[in-house]
Amino acid sequence: MKYLSTRDNSLKKSFNEILYQGLSKDGGLYLPVEWPNIDIHNLENKSYEDVALEIIFPFVKENFSKGELQNILNESYSTFSHEKKAPVKELQTNKYILELIYGPTYAFKDYALQFLGKLFSYSLIKNPKKITVLGATSGDTGSAAIHAFKTNQDINVFILHPHGKVSPMQQKQMTTVNEENIFNIAIEGNFDDCQKIVKTLFIDDEIQNKTSLTAINSINWARLIAQVVYYFWSHLQIKNKDINFIVPSGNFGNIFSAYVAKKMGLPINRLHVATNKNDILKSIITHGQMNKKIVSQTFSPSMDIQISSNFERQMFESFDRDSNQVNNAFNEFNKTGSYQFSSSVIDNFKKIYDASSINDDETLDTISKIFKKYNYISDPHTATGFKLLMDKNDDETWVSLACAHPAKFNTAVEKAIGKATDIPIELSNLFDKKENMTILPNNIQEVKNYLLQNI
Ligand SMILES: *Cc1c(COP(=O)(O)O)cnc(C)c1O
């Protein structure tokens, strides 16, 4: 499989060449030149890891043997605490939850980042070098990445999070890992500020000359392919139905993986983008308006994003893979702060996606209703999707994704249902541990200096 860039569709990179890179030099994101086709019948009665093997292998086969990939996958998911890894649970007829909370840091990010960690380790054995992981997090990616890379001394990890804007549990999960290769940076700004700093440093020559910078944000293609697996896995558990998926969304990584699954042959009916008050995705999909907006803080911090990086991949697809149009759109967006998609492109978005957004009150109300009706405690991100799941009243099959364990967001849970949820022992142990982080201003030069001093 070769890879092109959303801003240069003539590019033909190998998987190894894009593995450590987030952005292409032209500023675009990588996509495969074509979609492999998967015959679902060949996946039946296989384990999660073996299903993953069939789905991921076509994307990596020039650089990893099937045996290597099998080992990588077995190691990636060995620590997950549910035998099914990503179980589908039935709430009522035709309404299901896909639970993605059984990895080491209790959010869906583990499904991709544990894989990425092992993939890097195998790759570094074959081609030894020191690499620097640089990422921005709205809370869950950071801890998942830190836990995936903490034992690999060939990899230094710098994670930027918005200071004071992640949940206390999310912060503890990141800052209590006392390893020499882990650097937590709290930026005095919001997530979009963190993401912007990271993107700028990725194309900074001085840094590139000193180290091999590696992206672990959801713009990294390898993360997206690991996420494709659980959409197929849901189908295998529910069987014989055109499924509609509801995906709580921020950076558009998780739901884009569902789109990839659809392209690879999974019978998906519609994809529903659920957001909190930060509703840029809703305004793009329903009206074609991409405007720069201010980020609001909500009970679902991992979705407090107004610039959804992975949406560029969908733009490229909806522009019929014409990278000129992607370039033009971003030139205009960067100049004026807004871009209006044409009606034919909006129609294309709408053929695939629906979108909705709910505010904090509705989030709490949904957590409370779900608890009363099903005795199920959902986290606030998951609730943005569950609101829709509750409202659905048709004969179709709906699967809503549970993206994080509610114990990570107990303040909101307690407000909603009057009590906190039980905290898994691995999380409650964190409260006594010493935190390590460096607070820096929202300033690219200062972060760059810190990086140069510490790599
Ligand atoms: C990251 C995250 C999201 C958003 O996922 P994207 O891939 O960025 O769209 C939603 N919920 C939780 C709990 C998350 O950690």
Of 276, 307, 334, residue with least CA distance to 136: 307
User: pLDDT tens-digit profile of 329-343?
Assistant: 999 999 999 999 999
| Residue 109 near ligand 1, beta carbon < 6 Å | yes
What is the model's pLDDT at position 202? 86
262: Cβ below 6 Å to ligand 1?
no
Q: Tokens standing for 449? A: 């200096």
Alpha-carbon gap, residue 176 to 430, rounded angstroms? 7
Structure confidence at residue 310 as a pLDDT band (50, 70, 90): very high
What does 54-77 look like in DSSP terms, one character per residue? Answer: HHHHHHHTTTS-HHHHHHHHHHHH
Residue 218 CA: nearest ligand 1 atom is 7
pLDDT band at 28 (very low <50, low <70, confident <90, very high): very high
As a whole number, mean pLDDT of residues 16-25 equals: 87
Is-contact 230 148, C-beta < 8 A?
no
End-to-end CA, the chain:
33
Is 109 a catalytic site residue?
yes
For residue 41, count other CB atoms closer than 10 A to its CB.
Answer: 6
306 has pLDDT over 90? no
Residues 126-174: tens digit of each pLDDT: 999 889 999 999 888 999 999 999 988 899 999 999 999 998 899 999 9
Is residue 391's pLDDT more than 70?
yes
Whether 254 lines ligand 1, by a CB cut-off of 6 Å, is yes
Q: What is the DSSP string of 209-247?
A: HHSEEEE-STTSHHHHHHHHHHHHHHHHHH-SS-EEEEE
Does the Cβ of 248 fall within 6 Å of ligand 1? yes
pLDDT tier at 239, thresholds 50, 70, 90: confident
CA separation for the pair 388, 27 (Å, rounded): 35
pLDDT at 203: 83
Question: Among 110, 220, 254, which residue has the most ligand 1 atoms within 8 Å of its CB, making it the best to mutate?
Answer: 254
- At 74, list the tokens: 């077995």
> Which structure tokens are listed for 299?
């009970």
Hey, is 135 helix, strand or coil? strand
Residue ranges of domains in the chain, CATH in brackets: 88-103+227-417 (3.40.50.1100)
Q: Of all atoms in ligand 1, which is nearest to the CA of residue 305?
A: 8
- Which one is catalytic: 109, 118, 172, 408? 109
pLDDT (0 to 100) of residue 402: 98
Q: Is pLDDT of 240 > 70?
A: no
pLDDT at 421: 95
Q: Which of 30-34, 313-317, 422-426 has the lowest mean pLDDT?
A: 422-426
